[in-house]
């Protein structure tokens, strides 16, 4: 079964978070739109060039300001593939770990899209920016969903764009173990997000959530982490653990990326 990150494009829908901040669902991972003084900041650029074009069309219905900056939360293709349709010469910001963009291509894509490299690489854990009059904080605590996740925080609007750190299809975290994501890092990252003075959190997949919902994800993850440790110490196998703890349930998503499965693999893995 395809995951939320592997399904073909769906019709786009635009939702408003504040007078100048929007998010767009459809075409892969959620995208954020921030209308600045003279330009538009986009957070994540959908899956395919066609999706990227449709995202630009959606922006044009909101504002006549041009897209000047794209911030990428991580390297999954459903967040970067649409960049091929974006105007040349724009600023593209990504974390240093994501500069290579070596994510696997989902099976529904017949060919790999042209990958547009970032123009600015962030190396620090916390970077304050002002782009088109908009104050932003780019935050990276630890490897979590992948090794190079970037969270975008708008302090004035109290909005967090979490990328795939948050995914409504997973009660706990959705982690790419093969991309050096980490359950411990995920917990650290979500604790950091909860500590922000934010009211709205936009997941990489699913609807916007409030702080209480994010805290619930964190509680589930911490509980599952402790359960896996206890069951592993009792000699349980991965199959036995997933019979008790499975998020999402078997057949409903990528079981290998389920939080409990990742915890098991981390605790039993040889050093990388």
pLDDT of residue 23 exceeding 70: yes
DSSP string, 118-139: PSEEE-SSEEEEEETTEEEEEE
What pLDDT, on the 0 to 100 scale, is given for residue 73?
96
Which is it for strands 134-139 and 126-131: parallel, antiparallel or unpaired? antiparallel
Q: Which of 39-48, 62-71, 75-84, 91-100 has the lowest mean pLDDT?
A: 91-100
> In which band, very low, low, confident or very high, does the pLDDT at 269 lie, cut at 50, 70 and 90?
confident
Q: Note the pLDDT of residue 243.
A: 87
Tell me the pLDDT band of 249, cut-offs 50, 70 and 90. Answer: low
pLDDT digits (tens, 9 = 90+) for 118-132: 999 999 999 999 999
Q: What is the mean pLDDT of residues 6-16?
A: 74
Q: Any long-range contacts for 237-242 (C-beta under 8 Å, 24+ apart)?
A: 238/264, 238/265
pLDDT band at 270 (very low <50, low <70, confident <90, very high): low
At residue 180, the pLDDT reads 86
pLDDT of residue 252: 47
Closest C-alpha to 187, from 217, 148, 232, 230: 217
Considering 17-31, 109-123, 172-186, 242-256, the range whose residues carry the highest mean pLDDT is: 17-31
The more confident residue out of 8 and 211 is: 211
Residues with Cβ within 8 Å of 183's Cβ and at least 6 positions away in sequence, in order, are 173, 175, 221, 225, 259, 262, 263, 266
Q: What is the pTM of this model?
A: 0.90
Burial state string for 125-153 with b = 16 or more CB within 10 A and e = fewer than 16: eebebebbebebebbbbbbbbbbbbbbbb
Q: What is the pLDDT of residue 1?
A: 30
- pLDDT value of residue 4: 43
Backbone angles phi, psi at 147, to 5 degrees: -80, -15
Query: Residue 79 in contact with residue 29, Cβ under 8 Å?
Result: yes
Span 149-205, pLDDT tens digits: 999 999 999 999 999 999 988 889 889 888 889 999 999 999 999 999 999 999 999
Distance CA 55, CA 270 (A): 43
Task: Domains for the chain: give ranges and CATH numbers.
Answer: 13-268 (3.60.15.10)
CA distances from 163 to 76, 85, 175, 203 (A): 10, 21, 12, 6
How high is the pLDDT of residue 148? 87
Residue 205, φ and ψ in degrees, nearest 5: -145, 130
Distance CA 248, CA 1 (A): 12
């Amino acid at each position: 079964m395809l995951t939320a990150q592997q399904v073909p494009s769906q019709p786009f829908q635009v939702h408003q978070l504040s007078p100048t901040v929007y998010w767009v669902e459809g075409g892969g991972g959620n995208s954020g739109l921030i209308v600045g003084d003279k330009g538009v900041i986009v957070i994540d650029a959908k899956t395919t060039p066609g999706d990227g074009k449709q995202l630009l069309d959606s922006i044009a219905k909101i504002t006549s300001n041009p897209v000047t900056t794209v911030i990428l939360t991580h390297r999954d293709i459903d967040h970067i593939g649409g960049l091929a349709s974006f105007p040349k010469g724009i600023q593209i910001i990504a974390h240093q770990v994501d500069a290579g963009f070596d994510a696997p291509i989902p099976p529904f894509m017949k060919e790999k899209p042209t990958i547009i490299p970032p123009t600015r690489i962030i190396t620090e854990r916390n970077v304050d920016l002002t782009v088109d009059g908009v104050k932003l904080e780019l935050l990276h605590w630890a490897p979590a969903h992948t090794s190079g996740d970037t969270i975008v925080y708008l302090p004035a609007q109290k909005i967090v764009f979490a990328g795939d750190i948050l995914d409504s299809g997973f009660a706990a975290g959705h982690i790419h173990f093969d991309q050096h994501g980490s359950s411990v890092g995920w917990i650290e990252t979500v604790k950091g997000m909860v500590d922000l003075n934010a009211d709205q959190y936009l997941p990489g997949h699913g609807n916007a959530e409030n702080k209480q919902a994010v805290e619930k994800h964190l509680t589930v993850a911490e509980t599952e982490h402790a359960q896996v440790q206890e069951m592993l110490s009792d000699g349980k196998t991965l199959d036995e653990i997933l019979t008790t703890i499975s998020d999402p349930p078997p057949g409903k998503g990528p079981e290998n990326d389920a939080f409990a499965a990742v915890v098991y693999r981390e605790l039993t893995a040889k050093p990388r």
